[in-house]
């Protein structure tokens, strides 16, 4: 965790962003939960508990700045925005498998874009998002099935 925090602090400094007490607490929270996406509302609630005078705008602005400099990854599912600490600073472009039971996030090492662009001759792809959903090995071993998942 210390190495990841050091990397994040270096990125902040490189981008001329100060490491305030609030930003340090936000980074620590994200690092503690780095294996899962966390609902942005939960991040806001935590930060406002730690810093009662902190505004919603400050929390969201800091998360947006962290995303812009590559410290935070963002995911939107069913109109809910979630964030997590960057899982791979060396490969900013990557994709994930997300367990629908426990929420564990596993980085995928390959991007499938070559497969898709080969099917689109003459087209220009300007962006993409790719995530796989299902059950992680631990949840499957525990006997969780797709049928037992609570649908939101």
Instruction: Determine the Cα–Cα distance for residues 11 and 137; give it in Å rounded to an integer.
Output: 33
Can you give the residue range of the structural domain that contains 36?
2-85
Assign 37 to helix, strand or coil: coil
Residue among 56, 49, 67, 60 at smallest CA distance from 8: 67
Going by the DSSP 8-state scheme, the letter that residue 148 receives in this structure is G
CATH number of the domain bearing residue 130? 3.30.1490.190
**What confidence tens digit (pLDDT) does each residue in 92-108 have?**
677 778 888 888 888 77
pTM equals 0.71
Residues 11-36: what's their mean pLDDT? 92
**Are 78 and 112 in the same domain?**
no
Contact 103, 114 (CB under 8 A): no
Instruction: Determine the Cα–Cα distance for residues 46 and 40; give it in Å rounded to an integer.
Output: 10
Picking from 85, 110, 140, the residue at the C-terminal end of a domain is 85
**Are 35 and 56 in the same domain?**
yes
Contact 92, 127 (CB under 8 A): no
**Are 12 and 77 in the same domain?**
yes
Instruction: Determine the Cα–Cα distance for residues 130 and 134; give it in Å rounded to an integer.
Output: 14
**Are 77 and 7 in the same domain?**
yes
Q: Is residue 90 part of a domain?
A: no
Q: Is residue 56 part of a domain?
A: yes
Contact 69, 31 (CB under 8 A): no
The terminus-to-terminus CA distance of the chain in angstroms comes to 32
Residue among 34, 62, 67 at smallest CA distance from 48: 62
Picking from 46, 67, 85, the residue at the C-terminal end of a domain is 85
**What confidence tens digit (pLDDT) does each residue in 53-74 have?**
999 999 999 999 999 998 988 8
- Maximum average pLDDT range among 21-35, 102-116, 137-151: 21-35
**Are 32 and 65 in the same domain?**
yes
Show binding-site residues: 93, 99, 102, 128, 136, 139
Q: Is residue 66 part of a domain?
A: yes
Picking from 51, 67, 85, the residue at the C-terminal end of a domain is 85
Show binding-site residues for Zn(2+): 99, 102, 136, 139
Total domain count, the chain: 2
Show binding-site residues for Fe cation: 93, 128
């Amino acid at each position: 965790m210390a190495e990841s925090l050091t990397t994040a602090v270096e990125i902040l400094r490189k981008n001329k962003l100060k490491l305030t007490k609030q930003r340090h607490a936000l980074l620590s929270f994200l690092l503690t939960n780095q294996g899962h996406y966390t609902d942005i509302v939960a991040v806001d609630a935590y930060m406002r508990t730690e810093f009662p005078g902190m505004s919603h705008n400050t929390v969201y602005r800091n998360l947006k700045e962290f995303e812009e400099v590559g410290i935070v990854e963002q995911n939107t599912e069913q109109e809910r925005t979630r964030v997590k600490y960057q899982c791979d600073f060396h490969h900013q472009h990557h994709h994930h498998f997300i367990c629908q039971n426990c929420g564990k996030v596993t980085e995928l090492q390959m991007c499938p874009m070559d497969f898709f662009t080969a099917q689109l001759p003459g087209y220009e792809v300007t962006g993409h998002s790719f995530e796989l959903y299902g059950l992680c090995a631990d949840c499957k071993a525990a006997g969780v099935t797709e049928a037992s998942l609570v649908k939101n």
